[in-house]
Amino acid sequence: MLPQEAIRAKRDGRALSAETIGELIAGIADGGLSDAQVGALAMAIYLQGMSPAETVALTEATRDSGEVLDWAGLDLPGPVLDKHSTGGVGDLVSLVLGPWVAACGGHVPMISGRGLGHTGGTLDKLEAIPGYSVTPDTATFRRLVKEAGVAIIGQTGRLAPADKRLYAVRDVTATVESLPLIVASILGKKLACGLDALVMDVKVGSGAFMPTPEASRQLAETIAEVASLAGTPTTALLTDMSQPLAPCAGNAVEVREALAVLTGERRDGRLLEVTRSLAAEMLLAGGLAADREAALARLDERLTSGAAAERFAAMVAGLGGPSDLLERADHHLPTAPRVREVRAPRDGYLAALDTRALGLAVVELGGGRRAPDDPVDPAVGLTGIAALGTAVSAGDPLAVIHARREGDAERAERRLLAALEIGAAPVAAPTLIQDTIRREAP
């Protein structure tokens, strides 16, 4: 079918065949479709939606538009597993999860992204580590996945190239919020990694990517269904993002928090609970544990023994970072020259947090991007962010700002005070892990 006829069919609400979708995605990848046609197709999908079968075909075509990683030749002794998060504030799960699962026998080739809007990016966090390369050659990437069990890197031009072009067009044509396009974009890249199983972390709350809890649930269910129909068993967890996942937000500060969890310095908290639950699902999906109790026991032993921290250290060193990061983190990780406490204006309880506003405060400090090519300051951010429900007295610290300049700190303080609500009555934080959706491949 001619591209314009396929676009017309979708514009008029007709379903497209898998063959036609494959031809369209191939045209996006190789330049056969013009930008005008790509934009028109995206708008037609945005307005008319897609059936489950069409969404599966779109996902598979996006996955197959470039290289699909094949691990068979490496003779890996364990399953190839990965997770993806829809993003949030203080969400440094990947830094802990990848090495933790690797220490339990999994192999985690994690292709991650940079900060987007108010959310922090895994690659930006890792680049706060001096020397860490997120663009290694293929041989180094494959060697680390086998030997260290984990390698967290950026997307190469060979993986799902159609998605890169389609996303760029969606971004300037107001079609980003289309569910089929979101699902195909997320899964096209992830499934191109040749996974045996995938676990999704879909956020719900004021800092979530999706605007409502209902939309988050729909995204989780659709991703689990589509990925499984495309041949990759997938589990999706709905987790709370009505406050930062960790008590910090920024790049170097989040690496420090990851090290605190991996080395046992931090033994509780929301970050650890979510990461432990996601890791348990990965072990179950990969056949590395017989049941949830066994999975949790194995995870706890690998964390306590230091094996997870050792995997992180091996990954960092293997990708050009310092070999003594665990022992000398303060020496290697940058710090900001201005530190300012944000104090409670009155007695009460921390009743609400505008998590998105906290993320944007980090962006304004320089820890994120307003435009794709903006530089990122790895040293700035927030620490000591108080948890929802915390009882405070006037003058108690609610957060600590790490800034490059005094003026930046002052502006961030105003934004934080506007984002935090002090109430008179105690409040309970929302349930952290709200649901688990499992789908098996047919």
Name the catalytic one among 125, 165, 190, 298: 190
Q: Are 205 and 274 in contact (CB under 8 A)?
A: no
Name the catalytic one among 59, 62, 122, 232: 122
164 flagged as catalytic: no
Q: Are 67 and 114 in contact (CB under 8 A)?
A: no
Q: Are 22 and 57 in contact (CB under 8 A)?
A: yes
82 flagged as catalytic: yes
Q: Largest Cα–Cα distance in the chain?
A: 68
> Across the strands, what pairs with 348?
392
292 flagged as catalytic: no
185 flagged as catalytic: yes
> CA-CA distances (angstroms) from residue 399 to 107, 351, 402, 428?
37, 15, 10, 20
C-alpha 171/C-alpha 63 separation (Å) is 20
The phi, psi pair for 257, rounded to 5°, reads -65, -40
For residue 98, how many other CB atoms are within 10 A of its CB?
A: 30
Name the catalytic one among 55, 64, 65, 83: 83
189 flagged as catalytic: yes
Contacts (Cβ under 8 Å, ≥6 apart) of 312: 95, 96, 98, 99, 150, 258, 259, 262, 326
Tokens for 178, please give them.
């289309």
356 flagged as catalytic: no
Name the catalytic one among 86, 178, 185, 383: 185
Name the catalytic one among 114, 125, 164, 170: 170
- For the four alpha carbons of 159, 28, 233 and 219, in that order, the dihedral sign comes to positive
Reported residue count of the chain is: 442
Name the catalytic one among 59, 85, 112, 175: 85
170 flagged as catalytic: yes
Q: What residues are labeled active site? A: 82-85, 122, 170, 185, 189-190
